[in-house]
């Protein structure tokens, strides 16, 4: 896999995504999701909310890089908070 | 009644999973890896963090290409979708005309993209092309190689010529699936032609239109070959769209790191727009059924 030019950070990033998917699969098998409507303007399942929160997290990071010079970890914390809010109340 | 579930069917999805993994997921992961490094080849590379993203997001040439791309894609959708629906509504429903129009409409779709570019490159020339010659004959000073507006219009008309057929064929398939009973009921109610279109034909075409709009959005948002052959992105940068900008960066200048970062931004834009569009239309469909 050397041709993929892995770095420790990107490996950890994809590891997290992979673990999330495994975790969501197990969660679904143990207690299947029930579509519901939270503060988002649409009915969502657990998987939908994960997708929305990950996409939102990507845009939060891009916005952070584009509009501020502040440390990126602050953007990451905001993205994490966004993820928790969407998964819990979305 | 208990529903029988058989999870063994998931094994049948495995071949598709492997194909998608090899053709899409692994290359995408590689692009992510490239985007955080100054890389020449897998052995010669340096970690640079988010530097390429900052550079790409602040690049005014990228902003210009993005604005051009958005205007172009919106123009394509606003022309091709209504035109495709209108043509589909006028097509014959039976007889030899059905086959004839299907063949005629399918012809532009069968032509390879670079050939389409070449056809229009010659067609639009004032000296040897019929189109360019006739336009100039009417007293309009048309030259797509020098005038940005002419180049824009030529690329746009070329796309409309190439892809409206796709929308027509999809809409026609949707229209043909409407049972006659709907039209008979509308006739009994004395519905106008507009009411039949608005409340019978358009809702029944919704699912194919979603596919059509998504396909046209994605295709036009990553258009490369036709404008590359027709105008080469010029005059100046007038028809340099995102994919051409990206190719110039990755292949022309061999800036693999910034090109990878730009690819990811590009990917995220397409992913967001497709998801929003798909969700909005599908939710509207569900509400319509309720």
The 10s digit of each residue's pLDDT in B54-84 is: 999 998 888 899 899 999 999 999 999 999 9
Whether A22 and A47 map to the same domain: the answer is no
Q: Which residues contact B166 (CB under 8 A, 6 or more apart)?
A: B84, B109, B212, B215, B216
Residues A90 and A52 sit within 8 Å (Cβ to Cβ) = yes
Element (H, E) at B47: strand B44-47
Query: Which residues have a Cβ under 8 Å from the Cβ of A47 and sit 6 or more positions away?
Result: A24, A28, A33
| Same domain membership, residue A48 and residue A20 | no
- The pTM (predicted TM-score) of the whole model is 0.81
pLDDT band at B289 (very low <50, low <70, confident <90, very high): low
All residues of chain A having their beta carbon less than 8 Å from the beta carbon of residue B271 are: 55
Domain of A83, in residue numbers:
35-90
ipTM of the complex: 0.91
pLDDT at B286 exceeding the cut of 80: no
Q: Does residue B126 surpass a pLDDT of 90?
A: no
Residues A73 and A87 in one domain: yes
pLDDT of residue B285: 65
The reply to whether omega before B7 is within 30° of 0 (cis) is no
Question: How distant is the alpha carbon of residue B268 from its chain centre?
Answer: 16
**pLDDT score at B254:** 86
Same domain for A71 and A85?
yes
Q: Which chain B residues touch A if contact means CB-CB below 8 Å? A: 26, 29-30, 32-34, 36-37, 39, 42-43, 45, 47, 50, 53-54, 57-58, 265, 268, 271-272, 275, 279, 283
| Measured distance CA(A70)–CA(A78) in Å, rounded | 13
Asked if the B60-289 domain carries CATH number 3.30.590.10, the reply is no
Q: Which helix (H) or strand (E) holds B186?
A: helix B180-188
Distance CA B251, CA B254 (A): 5
Q: What are B183-231's pLDDT values in tens digits?
A: 999 999 988 999 999 999 998 888 888 889 988 988 899 888 888 888 8
On whether both A15 and A45 belong to a single domain, the answer is no
Burial of B288 (0-12, 13-18, 19+ CB in 10 A): exposed
Instruction: Please enumerate in sequence order all residues whose Cβ is within 8 A of that of A72, keeping only pairs 6 or more positions apart, or say none.
Output: A61, A64, A65, B50
In this complex, is the C-beta atom of A3 within 8 Å of any C-beta atom belonging to chain B?
yes
Q: What are the extents of the domains in chain B?
A: 60-289
The tally of domains found in chain A comes to 2
pLDDT at B3: 64
A82 plus A54 within the same structural domain: yes
Q: What is the pLDDT of residues A28-62, one digit of tens each?
A: 999 998 898 889 888 889 999 999 999 999 999 99
Q: Which residue of chain A has the CA closest to B31? A: A4
Of B32, B36, B57, Cβ closest to residue A65:
B57
């Amino acid at each position: 896999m050397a041709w993929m030019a892995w770095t420790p950070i990107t490996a950890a990033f994809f590891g997290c995504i992979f673990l999330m998917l495994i975790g969501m699969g197990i969660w679904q098998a143990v207690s299947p999701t029930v579509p519901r409507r939270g503060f988002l303007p649409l009915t969502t399942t657990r998987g939908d909310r994960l997708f929305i929160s990950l996409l939102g997290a990507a845009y939060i990071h891009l916005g952070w890089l584009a509009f501020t010079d502040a440390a990126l970890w602050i953007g990451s914390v905001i993205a994490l908070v966004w993820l928790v809010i969407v998964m819990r109340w979305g | 009644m208990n529903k029988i579930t058989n999870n063994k069917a998931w094994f049948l999805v495995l071949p598709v999973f492997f194909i998608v993994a090899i053709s899409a997921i692994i290359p995408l992961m590689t692009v992510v890896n490239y985007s955080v490094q100054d890389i020449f080849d897998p052995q010669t590379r340096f970690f640079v963090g988010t530097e390429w993203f900052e550079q790409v997001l602040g690049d005014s040439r990228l902003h210009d290409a993005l604005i051009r791309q958005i205007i172009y894609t919106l123009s394509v959708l606003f022309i091709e979708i209504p035109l495709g629906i209108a043509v589909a509504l006028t097509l014959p429903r039976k007889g030899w005309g059905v086959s004839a129009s299907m063949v005629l409409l399918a012809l532009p779709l069968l032509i390879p993209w670079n050939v389409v570019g070449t056809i229009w490159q010659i067609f639009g020339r004032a000296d040897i092309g019929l189109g360019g010659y006739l336009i100039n004959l009417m007293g309009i000073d048309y030259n797509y190689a020098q005038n940005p507006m002419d180049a824009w219009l030529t690329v746009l008309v070329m796309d409309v010529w190439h892809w409206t057929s796709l929308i027509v064929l999809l809409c026609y398939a949707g229209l043909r699936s409407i049972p006659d009973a709907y039209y008979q009921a509308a006739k009994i109610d004395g519905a106008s032609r507009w009411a039949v279109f608005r409340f019978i034909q358009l809702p029944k075409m919704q699912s194919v239109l979603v596919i059509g709009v998504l396909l046209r959005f994605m295709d036009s948002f990553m258009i490369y070959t036709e404008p590359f052959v027709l105008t080469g992105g010029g005059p100046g940068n007038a028809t340099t769209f995102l994919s051409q900008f990206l190719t110039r960066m990755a292949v022309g200048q061999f800036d693999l790191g910034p090109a990878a970062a730009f690819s990811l931004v590009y990917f995220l834009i397409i992913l967001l727009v497709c998801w929003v569009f798909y969700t909005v239309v599908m939710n509207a469909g569900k509400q319509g059924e309720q």
